[in-house]
């Protein structure tokens, strides 16, 4: 698939097949349910799959890590990361039922036993995870308040548990209330022009 194996050289044939199938499934479903912008479907690989996988460039989750993807929408960033980390447990949460139904269908067709899908609002979900991931769901101070009770206090990865979020634009005002955080420029990992303004924000817990 495009240059995915250039950025992730350890991918198996099965993983590459899953990524190719993911594109096909999204093209099929997006014609029926508006998961992503219709004009964006031709940019699915870069703008959605590769964007999701950028999280793996800042941290490789150990086997058995529990991750909650809040506001997963069409399954991003959760599904691509779950393909990349088949021994990591992903729970994909979204309040819009038609989107979760599509993501569940994709999960089944890709035979992904490490993915659970839940149709609910984040404030109603009380299980705890090592990391909460998201993609431009809301301002970080609001998002942190929303999900901080979903983060386990005891860490087992090489970095503390916390939030890892895909963001864009100016984040200064959004992060001014946090004492400890890291911002990563995705353009340092991927050469596509789309990533020039894209960032990953990591906020360890507690903060």
Domain extents in the chain = 4-204
pLDDT at 2: 61
pLDDT value, residue 23: 93
**3-class state of residue 207 by DSSP:** coil
pTM: 0.96
| CATH of the structural domain 4-204, one choice from 3.30.70.100, 3.90.1150.10, 3.40.50.150, 3.20.20.150 | 3.40.50.150
The per-residue pLDDT of the chain, averaged, comes to 94
Q: Which residues of the chain have pLDDT under 70?
A: 1-2, 38-39
Write out pLDDT tens, residues 128-185: 999 999 997 889 999 999 999 999 999 999 999 999 999 998 899 999 999 999 999 9
Q: Which residues contact 103 (CB under 8 A, 6 or more apart)?
A: 72, 74, 75, 78, 79, 92, 94, 117
Determine contact, residues 116/69, Cβ cutoff 8 Å.
no
């Amino acid at each position: 698939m495009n240059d995915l194996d250039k950025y992730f050289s350890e991918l198996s044939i099965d993983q590459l097949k899953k990524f190719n199938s993911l594109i096909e499934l999204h093209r099929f479903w997006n014609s029926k349910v508006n998961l992503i912008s219709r004009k964006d479907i031709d940019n699915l690989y870069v703008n959605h799959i590769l964007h999701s996988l950028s999280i793996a460039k800042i941290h490789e989750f150990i086997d058995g890590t529990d991750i909650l993807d809040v506001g997963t929408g069409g399954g991003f960033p959760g599904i691509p990361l779950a393909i990349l980390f088949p021994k990591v447990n992903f729970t994909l949460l979204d309040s819009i039922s038609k989107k979760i139904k599509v993501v569940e269908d994709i999960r089944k067709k890709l035979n992904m036993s490490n993915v659970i899908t839940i149709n609910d609002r984040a404030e109603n979900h009380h299980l705890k995870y090592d990391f909460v991931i998201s993609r431009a769901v809301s301002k970080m101070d609001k998002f942190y308040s929303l999900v901080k009770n979903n983060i386990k206090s005891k860490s087992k990865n090489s970095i503390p548990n916390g939030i890892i979020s895909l963001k864009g634009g100016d984040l200064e005002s959004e992060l001014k209330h946090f004492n400890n955080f890291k911002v990563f420029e995705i353009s340092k990992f991927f050469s596509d022009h789309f990533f020039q303004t894209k960032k990953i924000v990591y906020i360890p817990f507690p903060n």
